[in-house]
Structure 1
Amino acid sequence: MAAPRLALTVFVLMLAVITLTEGLRGTGPRRCCSRFNEKPPSKDRVVSYVRTSQRCPTPAVIFKTVANRQLCARPSDPRVKELISYLDAKPVPGETSNL
């Protein structure tokens, strides 16, 4: 009678440990890019950008356009770097200045 209880207890403990460790690992990255646009969008079409997670296999920048589309681009591309600099320097609507 004790052997089945012991086996059940060990099984439940193993299941709890597996569940806990899987939960602590977290989910994978939200979005990664597997294909890239050869030409980044024009400055007047882009609203914002985000960099993909470091857990993605290939680094990328995701641009969000005024049409609410998301386009993947290579962060090493000089045109992408220029567009990121432009967006970083652009004032945020509703942001007040202390000048």
Structure 2
Amino acid sequence: MTAPRLSLSVCLLMLAVITLAEGMRGAGPKKCCFTFAEKAVSKEKVVGYIRTSQRCSNPAFLLKTVAGRQLCVRSSAPWLKEIIAYLENKNLPGQANNL
């Protein structure tokens, strides 16, 4: 009689631990990039940027354009640093540059 109760208790405890661990992981990233803009974008057309989550498989930045579009750009794109520097210098101190 004690063996079935012990087995049931162990199963319930394992289920509780798994549920707790999954809950602490969170829902996952909101936006990841799988296709990327290959051509350089004019810095005057970009109004903001954010880095994608570290949990995404491809490290990237999301650029928000004046037209309201979002473009995915690889972190390694050589022209990306110029756009980020431009946006950082353009924003006033204390003003967020995120989307």
Task: State the TM-score, normalizing by the size of structure 1.
Answer: 0.76
- Find the counterpart in structure 2 of residue 12 from structure 1: 12
In structure 1, the gaps of 5 or more residues are none
Q: In structure 1, how many angstroms separate the alpha carbons of the residues matched to 2:82 and 2:94? A: 24
Aligned to 1:24: 24
Relative to 1, partners in 2 of residues 1:16 and 1:94: Cα closer, same or farther, differing over 3 Å?
closer
Cα deviation, residue 40, structure 1: 3.4
State the distance in 2 between where 1:91 and 1:18 align.
45
Aligned counterparts of 1:14 and 1:68: Cα–Cα separation in 2: 47
Using the size of structure 2 for normalisation, the TM-score is: 0.76
The 5 Å alignment of 1:40-51 reads 40-51=40-51
What is the letter of the counterpart of residue 75 of structure 1?
S
After superposition, what is the alpha-carbon deviation per residue over 1:73-92, rounded to whole angstroms, capped at 9, x for unaligned? 12222221111110111024
The AA in structure 2 aligned to 1:13 is: L
The one-letter code of the counterpart of 1:46 is V
Q: What is aligned with 2:79?
A: 79
CA RMSD of superposed structures (Å)? 2.3
Contact 1:40 1:73 in 2 (8 A): no
Q: CA deviation at 1:8?
A: 2.9
List 4+ stretches of structure 1 deviating above 6 A: none
